[in-house]
Chains A and B, each alone.
Chain A
Amino acid sequence: DTAVSQTPKYLVTQMGNDKSIKCEQNLGHDTMYWYKQDSKKFLKIMFSYNNKELIINETVPNRFSPKSPDKAHLNLHINSLELGDSAVYFCASSSTGATSTDTQYFGPGTRLTVL
Chain B
Amino acid sequence: GDSVTQMEGPVTLSEEAFLTINCTYTATGYPSLFWYVQYPGEGLQLLLKATKADDKGSNKGFEATYRKETTSFHLEKGSVQVSDSAVYFCALKVAGGGNKLTFGTGTQLKVEL
Residues of chain A touching chain B, judged by Cβ–Cβ distance below 8 Å, are 4, 31, 33, 40-45, 48, 50, 55-56, 90, 92, 94, 96, 102-109
Q: A41-B87, A102-B49 are in contact. List 14 more A-B contacts (CB 8 A).
A: A33-B99, A41-B108, A42-B105, A43-B89, A43-B103, A45-B100, A45-B101, A50-B98, A55-B99, A56-B98, A56-B100, A96-B99, A105-B46, A108-B41
Secondary structure at the A interface, as helix, strand, loop or mixed, is: strand
Q: Which residues from A are CB-within-8-Å of B42?
A: 108-109
Count B-side interface residues using an 8 Å CB cutoff: 24
Q: Which residues from A are CB-within-8-Å of B32?
A: 102
User: Are B93 and A44 closer than 8 Å at their CB atoms?
Assistant: no
User: Are B43 and A90 closer than 8 Å at their CB atoms?
Assistant: yes
Secondary structure at the B interface, as helix, strand, loop or mixed, is: strand
Greatest chain B CB density within 10 A among A33, A94, A104, A107 is at A104
Q: Which residues from B are CB-within-8-Å of A108?
A: 41-43
Nearest CB in chain B: distance from A6 CB, A: 8
Given the contacts A102-B51, A102-B93, A4 and B99 also touching, CB distance less than 8 Å? no
B98: which of A41, A43, A44, A55 is its contact (CB, 8 Å)? A55
User: Are A104 and B101 closer than 8 Å at their CB atoms?
Assistant: yes
Once the chains are docked, how many angstroms separate the CA of A50 from the CA of B105? 26
Nearest CB in chain A: distance from B107 CB, A: 9
Q: Which residues from A are CB-within-8-Å of B36?
A: 106
Asked if B44 lies at the interface with its beta carbon under 8 angstroms from chain A, I say yes
User: Are A48 and B99 closer than 8 Å at their CB atoms?
Assistant: yes
Q: Which residues from B are CB-within-8-Å of A31?
A: 99
Q: Which residues from A are CB-within-8-Å of B106?
A: 41-43
B44: which of A44, A50, A56, A106 is its contact (CB, 8 Å)? A106
Asked if B71 lies at the interface with its beta carbon under 8 angstroms from chain A, I say no
B45: which of A42, A50, A96, A106 is its contact (CB, 8 Å)? A106
Q: Which residues from A are CB-within-8-Å of B51?
A: 102
